[in-house]
């Protein structure tokens, strides 16, 4: 009995073990996306949320993750069906001026993302080894560029899965050291609340979870397997397995993001301590929870920064390559150009920033402002029969996607109003 027959029988219920093994082939893309929303920008946003407002903003992590599942699955859907990433599809099917406008802003978003990642990893190096931030940023950028130009998808996927696992274990350890009011946490997860002055923090949490570069990245990674060339039966199976991978990965990301807010609330909010720097957070954890907790915090931050810098560079490379109608390929000049623009642009900004913590927060706000443009582009592509054929978005898909767009845009308006009000005071 050949492998194809065995796989077919697994779907008929005869060999469930083989179906589980088959699923393992599709695990990886979701974790690359997950590391993008447990990056240092999230750490800054979540520590600020927890230290300033306790458990009251946990609902934003829940809402953002639900929106993320819908959006990431839809982006992967495009890659599986067409064999094109969002950037390639936009270049091929959209009006050139519109494609260039949105894709250009998406490259800027990748730079903003990489800024947070590189800065966060540099802060991690500073916390662990007392390296100056600028030297740490240069070392991190050099390491990430080398990694991207010398490794393929699968090796990077394995590295990222290892990093995500270690980050998750780090926060489990941190949470085991504090007393948590789980009833209050559960309420925070499902009860929307907008405390006075919290709009910028809410927007930074949104921008830190639902990130435009992750949508481009997911569609690129999933289409790199070129499963659309293997027939409709493979596409159908991949769509099912991809959703399981995406759902599991996003739930893990939700848990880690929630853990950051819970830890900050349980340690800083209860003592009425507003945290304005990640280094300050580590320094305060040491007397509260012990030296080991502070070291684990710094190590997890370093891993988050390194791994998410890799995904930001990949996203930038895929967007620039797609603007030339090409797939992501680290040996191709267009991909290399996108990687270098993203990482070196972020490094240059990092070298001139005077307040790293505020830089992390504002980088996430910038992402949330660009996000609606990327979502609209994605919806237009996946709702177009000329692009998706019989796999075009259903009416229900479009309702969910446009609702997400309205929510994100509405929060952006709130941020603008809040910012203008503060400027006029």
CA dist 256 and 59 (Å) reads: 14
Let me know if residue 15 belongs to a domain: no
Q: If DSSP codes are grouped into helix, strand and coil, which group holds residue 8?
A: helix
At 166 the three-state DSSP class reads helix
Estimate the share of the chain in helix, then strand, then coil, as percent rounded to the nearest 5.
Answer: 85, 0, 15
In a domain, 191, yes or no: no
Q: Tokens in use for 20? A: 């589980």
CB burial readout 137-149, b (16+ within 10 A) else e: bbebbeebbebbe
Structure tokens given for 226:
């070129």
Most distant pair of Cα atoms in the chain: their distance = 76
The CA distance from 31 to 238, in Å, is 16
Q: How many angstroms separate the CA atoms of 305 and 314, rounded? A: 14
The pLDDT profile of the chain, 425 residues, written as one tens digit per residue, is 443 444 344 334 434 444 444 544 555 566 777 776 677 767 778 888 999 999 999 999 999 899 888 899 999 999 988 989 999 999 999 999 999 999 999 999 999 889 988 988 998 898 889 899 999 999 999 999 998 988 766 677 777 778 778 888 888 888 888 899 999 999 999 999 989 888 888 877 876 677 888 899 888 887 765 555 556 677 777 777 788 888 888 898 899 889 989 988 998 898 888 776 666 666 656 666 677 777 888 888 898 888 889 999 999 999 999 999 998 988 899 999 999 999 999 999 989 887 776 776 677 677 777 888 999 999 999 999 999 999 999 999 999 999 988 887 777 777 667 656 765 66
235 in any annotated domain:
yes
Task: Domain of residue 66: give its range.
Answer: 53-181+200-263+283-381+392-424
Q: Is 350 within the bounds of a domain?
A: yes
**Rounded to whole angstroms, how far apart are CA atoms 192 and 211?**
21
Residue with tokens 């503060």: 422
Would you say residue 113 lies in a domain?
Answer: yes
In a domain, 44, yes or no: no
Q: What is the CATH number of the domain that holds 371?
A: 1.20.1740.10
| Matching residue, tokens 């009000």 | 421
- DSSP sequence for 357-406: HHHHHHHHHHHHHHHHHHHHHHHHHHT-HHHHGGGPPPHHHHHHHHHHHH
Q: What is the number of structural domains in the chain?
A: 1
Residue 7 belongs to a domain? no
Q: Is residue 194 part of a domain?
A: no
């Amino acid at each position: 009995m050949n492998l194809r027959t065995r796989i077919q029988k697994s779907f008929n219920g005869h060999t469930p073990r083989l179906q589980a093994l088959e699923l393992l082939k599709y695990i990886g893309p979701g974790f690359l996306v997950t590391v993008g929303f447990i990056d240092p920008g999230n750490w800054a946003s979540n520590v600020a949320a927890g230290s300033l407002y306790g458990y009251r903003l946990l609902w934003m992590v829940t809402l953002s993750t639900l929106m993320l599942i819908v959006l990431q699955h839809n982006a992967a859907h495009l890659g599986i069906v067409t064999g094109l990433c969002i950037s390639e599809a936009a270049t091929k099917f959209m009006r050139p001026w519109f494609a260039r406008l949105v894709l250009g802003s998406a490259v800027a978003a990748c730079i903003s993302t990489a800024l947070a990642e590189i800065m966060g990893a540099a802060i991690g190096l500073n916390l662990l080894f007392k390296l100056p931030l600028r030297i740490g940023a240069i070392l991190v950028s050099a390491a990430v560029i080398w990694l991207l130009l010398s490794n393929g998808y699968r090796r990077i996927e394995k590295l990222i899965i290892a990093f995500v696992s270690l980050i998750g274990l780090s926060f489990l350890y941190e949470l085991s050291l504090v007393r948590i009011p789980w009833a209050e946490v559960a309420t925070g997860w499902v009860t929307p609340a907008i405390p006075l002055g919290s709009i910028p923090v809410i927007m930074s949490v949104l921008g830190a979870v639902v990130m435009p570069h992750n949508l481009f990245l997911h569609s690129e990674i999933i289409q790199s397997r070129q499963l659309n060339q293997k027939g409709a039966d493979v596409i159908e199976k991949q769509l099912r397995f991809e959703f399981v991978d995406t759902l599991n990965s996003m739930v893990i990301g939700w848990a880690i993001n929630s853990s950051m807010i819970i830890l900050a609330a349980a340690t800083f909010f209860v003592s009425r301590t507003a945290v304005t720097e990640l280094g300050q957070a580590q320094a305060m954890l040491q007397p509260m929870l012990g030296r080991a907790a502070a070291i684990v915090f710094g190590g997890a931050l370093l891993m988050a920064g390194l791994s998410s810098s890799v995904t930001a560079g990949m996203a930038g490379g895929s967007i620039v390559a797609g603007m030339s109608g090409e797939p992501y390929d680290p040996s191709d000049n267009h991909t290399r150009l996108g990687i270098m623009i993203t990482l070196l642009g972020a490094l240059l900004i990092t070298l001139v920033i005077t307040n790293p913590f505020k830089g992390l927060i504002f980088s996430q706000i910038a992402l949330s402002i660009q996000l609606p443009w990327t979502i609209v582009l994605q919806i237009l592509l996946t709702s177009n029969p000329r692009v998706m054929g019989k796999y075009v978005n259903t009416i229900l898909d479009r309702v969910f996607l446009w609702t997400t767009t309205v929510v994100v845009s509405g929060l952006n308006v709130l941020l603008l109003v809040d910012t203008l009000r503060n400027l006029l005071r």
